[in-house]
Structure 1
Amino acid sequence: MANSILLTLSYRVLIVFCSLTYASSSFAMVNNDEFRISLINSLSKNSEIIRFYQDNGFQPLWVGNERKARERRSYFFKELKNASKHVLPALRYDLNYLKRQAISAKSSSDFGLAEALISIKFIEYSSNLQTGVLKPSSVDKEIVRKVPYRTTTAYLEKIRSVSPADFFKGIQPQSKQYSLLLQEKRRLEKIIAQGGWNSDLPGELIRPGDVGDKVILLRNTLIKRGYLERTSSDVYDGKLRSAVQLFQLRHGLAPDGIAGPATFSEMAKTAQERLASVLVALEREKWTNFDFGSRHVIVNLPDFSTKLFENGALIFETRNVIGTPIDEQRTPEFSDVIEHLITNPTWNVPKSITLKEYLPEMQKDPSAHDYLELIDLDRELVPRDLVNFNEYDEDTFPYDLKQFPSITNALGLVKFMFPNQYSIYLHDTPSKPLFDLEVRAFSHGCIRLQKPFEFAYELLKPQTEDPKTAFNDAIATGEETVVYLRKPVPVHLIYRTAFVDELGVINYRRDIYGRDAAIYEALINAGVQAESFSS
């Protein structure tokens, strides 16, 4: 018995001795000139990472047998294994190669190389997770968003000072949109794995009261997509109509309860196509991975909507009209700050519109657009009958066009200014019937609001007890008046064809400018693994 106990104790002592010897050896391996030289040479093209190690005495983050280094390395490798969860190009991070380098390291030089390789991939992965895989403007020049890129040093300092779990959870987008879009991604992937939801669709208009095979096709489509409970009815009854209306609302269609071409077009979208929209939306969420502000405006272009939020709650929304889907008229994507309102605005016609649209028309008929005034280089008014428009072309026309304040002014009675190089702003319009349309892309790029007065009241609420009177008094002057916001309001022009509404429900919209299709293709080319558009 005594010999058995002695043998056990001796074995434990041997294990402790070997562990201490290994730890001591491992510590020595990563704390000598050979390790440091190898690390620097392996990071020769990454001067910022080298500076971090210099500033921290070349203490390793990933290699060696120190507990925190082991934890970081293990957690990071687990992150890379699940990279596709966040729509990231898993193969780009060379997980298996990194593992082999870390496991097979025997010399200080080996450890230096492994440390460098892991740090390089750590920076790349962290940046991709936090701010996206793609550079927005490289996909579409009209996505002029300023992505909030972080520095290499910031990532390295942070992972050194907090747990790896807190680090990676902290850098991914924290928005409700992101977390619920991830849920939708998993749901669609499951549907695709089960064969998708493809079903035959009717070829003719279906209205409430209809019966027969075409109603059965519609019924089955809605059941498969989760909009209707199972039923054997072949009648277009109230329940079926409600399901159609709900589908229409969640896809940006007029909820008239009549199933026609537009409704069937959206129903025909496959689970793969919807997944593509979700993957793009997740990438876009990374581009806007910053604080939108406690009080902010969101203009979602494909949704044709403008919404004002305060402390996470929707407090105002209105329909809008956005830029026409042709070159130089599509509304760009960017964030800025609404600084002031201008009531009774003058419309200074952009030069591009003057030369490409109005000049040719005035050459045919000098009285065309007679509500616009000619302004010369001295900023003086020039009577039209003194000008021969046919003497000029786009390169030589010396006049500007201007429309003075009036109820028929193209900008209406108010515009909301966030000065920017793209000359984009929100404004009123006399063309009210356009807001009744389903697809509202008719402007030259600026955003027209259906309810601009109500929007103005909400913006002015924080600075006056009676915003309605204050605003209407400015309108009543009939003169152009600047009304400054004491606290400017951030405004974000975004483009989401897949998004979560205020009730936490996923919605889909048409890719009106084709931007999401281009982003999806770019993601696939970058190595993101996903189902293709076609089923």
Structure 2
Amino acid sequence: MAASAGAQAQQATEAAFVFKMSAYKQAVAESFGDDESIAAFYRGRDFAPIWTGSSESDRLRREALLEAFAMADDHGLPVREFDAQRLMAKMAQARTGRDRGMVEIELTRSFVAFAHALQSGVLEPGRIISGIKREPPRRDPQLLLTRLIEEDPRAVMRSLAPTSPEYTRLMRAKLRMEHRIQHGGWGQAVPAGSLKPGNAGNAVVALRNRLTAMGYMAPSLSPRYDAALEEAVSQFQEDHGLEPDGVAGSSTMREINVSPEERLKSIMVAMERERWLNLPEGLGQRHVRVNLVNFHAQIFDDDKLTFETKSVIGHQNRDRRTPEFSDVMDHMVINPSWYVPRSIIVNEYLPLLRANPGAVGHLQVIDSRGRVVPRYHGFARYSASTFPFSMKQPPGPRNALGSVKFMFPNRYNIYLHDTPSQHLFSRQVRTFSHGCIRLDDPHDFAYALLAKQEANPVDYFHRILDSGQETHVDLVEPVPVHLIYRTAFTQAKGQMNYRDDVYDRDARLWQALSAKGVSLRLGRT
């Protein structure tokens, strides 16, 4: 009888265990929703837990996840979405197999959400700003989860953040700025519209104190705008895209008086933007980078800047702003023709042609068979919707594209090119184009690209240029091009750099991040 009672008790225990496991599996299976990647991961392991089990591996994964969540604020992520205390409470309250299954999937979803946010960004930027043509490079959840069970979980968590030098420096800048804010910021704003060398008084003292707090000069009690203060102002101007003349004019003073809290927002938006560029394949051993708001185009080789030139970008008008995206440059055109975009034809040139058929005589009107259309028939009968012609400017010294254009074929019809309007490069804010990017030193840019495939790139380029013939030149090694928008960016050495938000994009991104729960960490520590 005793043996029979013992067997019955064992059977009851086994039945309860099977029931709990069935309840656990059912809860897990029901929680997948439409996430086939997570479902495939759990089906592949017969629904065995990775978080809520009793093994040492499960415990280490739980600890690694909770430790990673504690770092979310350092990365500027929404802390409320990655609340370690809430998850720990749910784990402690789980009593039934179903409870454990629900917690298992919640931990998995939290991990995947955290990995995506840290690796490739909190936001879906194109849904917020149409001019950002980027899809965050989300990693497959199944691959993320597989790594978690095959590798050291703490190492996996550490590997999620972008490893680019820029992201590392931005994160350090964020932590430094938070520390500065928690200990009084940069002091009082400078109570003056402008100051210049030779001035003296309380406003000069306030300027000196603020630049000292920013790290631009050593402390001093001098009330005069002396050589040391002039040098500090010049360096500040350099770091903020201003003319480094050492005079604290109205533009400089406006930048000096921006609060550290506003600068911190810019840094945190820049970190989010850097996560969007955390591509599995990287930016490219050689790549072109154009920071639109810094008005410069750069070539990088092995993460080192090897060439830089000034640029002009699209105007602030909504229909002329340069979009943000990445593509691959595969050729250049020397002595290019300019094929006028349809929007420019109907909005700018057609009204002129309707009034005067001889207007814009430097452009050819082309019919559907590629023939030049005589101007004497007139164009008054055409509207924007019925105008049947295209327009083209042949190669030449007055061509709108200058002597060369650099092509990374894309749906937005954006490219880099020369320009006859060289005077625009002397301006600090260079938003003058219809969207394409004009270069100050296009020939040198071409030489740098051709140096990879031509023994004498200068002679090669000018031999074609001097022919006057429109010539397509392939790049033997295509070059990734990244059009980015950074109002805050770092230098390998020196201070943070800041630029104006000319398209008002970063302001809108900060609003979106705030709505997600991202906030400034301003309390004293």
Sort the Cα spacing of 1:71 and 1:30 in 2 relative to 1 into closer, same or farther, 3 A: farther
8 Å contact kept, 2:38–2:141: yes
8 Å contact kept, 2:64–2:157: no
The aligned residue for residue 9 of structure 2 is none
Q: Distance in 2 between matches of 1:259 and 1:206?
A: 5
For residues 186-201 of structure 1, what are the structure 2 equivalents within 5 Å? 186-201=175-190
Measure how far apart 1:218 and its partner are: 2.4
Alignment of 1:258 with 2:243, yes or no, is no
8 Å contact kept, 1:407–1:413: yes
The aligned residue for residue 444 of structure 1 is 434
The aligned residue for residue 520 of structure 2 is 530
- Aligned residue among 342, 350, 363 for 1:359: 350
For residues 100-499 of structure 1, what are the structure 2 equivalents within 5 Å? 100-290=89-279, 291-387=282-378, 389-499=379-489
Query: Residue 90 of structure 1 aligns to which amino acid in structure 2?
Result: V
Q: Deviation above 6 Å: which 4+ runs of structure 1?
A: 28-31
Q: Distance in 2 between matches of 1:383 and 1:432?
A: 32
Sort the Cα spacing of 1:45 and 1:373 in 2 relative to 1 into closer, same or farther, 3 A: closer
Q: Distance in 2 between matches of 1:323 and 1:390?
A: 30
Q: Distance in 2 between matches of 1:170 and 1:448?
A: 38
Q: Distance in 2 between matches of 1:480 and 1:44?
A: 56
Measure how far apart 1:199 and its partner are: 2.2
8 Å contact kept, 1:524–1:530: no
Q: What secondary structure is seen at the aligned counterpart in 2 of 1:210?
A: coil
* Runs (5+) with no aligned partner, structure 1: 1-23
Q: What secondary structure is seen at the aligned counterpart in 1 of 2:113?
A: helix
Q: Distance in 2 between matches of 1:454 and 1:201?
A: 42
Q: What secondary structure is seen at the aligned counterpart in 1 of 2:406?
A: strand
For residues 508-527 of structure 1, what are the structure 2 equivalents within 5 Å? 508-527=498-517
- Aligned residue among 52, 68, 80 for 1:91: 80
Q: Distance in 2 between matches of 1:186 and 1:364?
A: 61
- Aligned residue among 38, 41, 45 for 1:52: 41
Q: Distance in 1 between matches of 2:492 and 2:354?
A: 51
Sort the Cα spacing of 1:414 and 1:261 in 2 relative to 1 into closer, same or farther, 3 A: same
Measure how far apart 1:140 and its partner are: 0.3
Q: Distance in 2 between matches of 1:484 and 1:31?
A: 65
Q: Deviations over 1:409-442 (max 9, x none)?
A: 0000000000000000000000001001100010
Q: Distance in 2 between matches of 1:174 and 1:504?
A: 20
Q: Distance in 1 between matches of 2:19 and 2:72?
A: 29
Q: Distance in 2 between matches of 1:30 and 1:403?
A: 78
Q: Distance in 2 between matches of 1:392 and 1:293?
A: 48
Q: Deviations over 1:287-326 (max 9, x none)?
A: 1102001111100001001010101111100000000011
Measure how far apart 1:245 and its partner are: 0.7
Deviates more, 1:223-232 or 1:403-412: 223-232
Measure how far apart 1:380 and its partner are: 0.8
8 Å contact kept, 2:240–2:497: yes
Deviates more, 1:122-131 or 1:31-40: 31-40
8 Å contact kept, 1:131–1:289: yes
Q: What secondary structure is seen at the aligned counterpart in 2 of 1:462?
A: coil
Sort the Cα spacing of 1:42 and 1:222 in 2 relative to 1 into closer, same or farther, 3 A: same
Deviates more, 1:279-288 or 1:160-169: 160-169
The aligned residue for residue 10 of structure 2 is none
8 Å contact kept, 1:30–1:112: no
Q: Distance in 1 between matches of 2:297 and 2:46?
A: 52
The aligned residue for residue 60 of structure 2 is 71
Query: Residue 63 of structure 2 aligns to which amino acid in structure 1?
Result: S
Query: Residue 418 of structure 1 aligns to which amino acid in structure 2?
Result: F
Q: What secondary structure is seen at the aligned counterpart in 2 of 1:145?
A: coil
Give the structure-1-normalised TM-score.
0.91
Deviates more, 1:366-375 or 1:440-449: 366-375
Q: Between the two proteins, what is the percent identity of the paired residues?
A: 41
Q: Distance in 2 between matches of 1:122 and 1:507?
A: 34
Give the structure-2-normalised TM-score.
0.93
8 Å contact kept, 1:314–1:502: no
8 Å contact kept, 1:498–1:507: yes
Q: What secondary structure is seen at the aligned counterpart in 2 of 1:493?
A: strand
Sort the Cα spacing of 1:437 and 1:227 in 2 relative to 1 into closer, same or farther, 3 A: same
Q: What secondary structure is seen at the aligned counterpart in 1 of 2:380?
A: helix
- How many residues of Structure 1 are paired with residues of Structure 2 in the alignment? 506
Q: Distance in 2 between matches of 1:340 and 1:436?
A: 28
Alignment of 1:82 with 2:71, yes or no, is yes
8 Å contact kept, 1:30–1:64: no
8 Å contact kept, 1:276–1:531: no
Measure how far apart 1:213 and its partner are: 3.9
Measure how far apart 1:29 and its partner are: 8.1
Q: Distance in 1 between matches of 2:187 and 2:344?
A: 45
Q: Deviations over 1:182-234 (max 9, x none)?
A: 11111111222223224232534433333344433322221222211111222
Deviates more, 1:366-375 or 1:264-273: 366-375
Q: Distance in 1 between matches of 2:332 and 2:519?
A: 46
Measure how far apart 1:265 and its partner are: 1.2
Q: Distance in 2 between matches of 1:504 and 1:477?
A: 46
Q: Distance in 2 between matches of 1:505 and 1:263?
A: 16
Q: What secondary structure is seen at the aligned counterpart in 1 of 2:299?
A: strand
8 Å contact kept, 1:322–1:447: yes
Query: Residue 148 of structure 2 aligns to which amino acid in structure 1?
Result: I
Q: Distance in 1 between matches of 2:21 and 2:437?
A: 62
For residues 12-23 of structure 1, what are the structure 2 equivalents within 5 Å? none
Deviates more, 1:74-83 or 1:307-316: 74-83
Q: Deviations over 1:451-475 (max 9, x none)?
A: 0000000101111111111111111
Measure how far apart 1:508 and its partner are: 0.6
8 Å contact kept, 2:333–2:404: yes
Q: Distance in 2 between matches of 1:99 and 1:165?
A: 18
Q: Deviations over 1:251-287 (max 9, x none)?
A: 0111111211110111121011001101100111111
Deviates more, 1:73-82 or 1:451-460: 73-82
Measure how far apart 1:57 and its partner are: 2.5
Deviates more, 1:258-267 or 1:298-307: 258-267
Query: Residue 427 of structure 1 aligns to which amino acid in structure 2?
Result: H
Q: What secondary structure is seen at the aligned counterpart in 2 of 1:78?
A: helix
* Runs (5+) with no aligned partner, structure 2: 1-12
Q: Distance in 2 between matches of 1:200 and 1:171?
A: 39
Q: Deviations over 1:99-146 (max 9, x none)?
A: 122223333333222211111111111111111110010110010013
Q: What secondary structure is seen at the aligned counterpart in 2 of 1:249?
A: helix
Q: Distance in 2 between matches of 1:238 and 1:469?
A: 47
8 Å contact kept, 2:122–2:513: yes
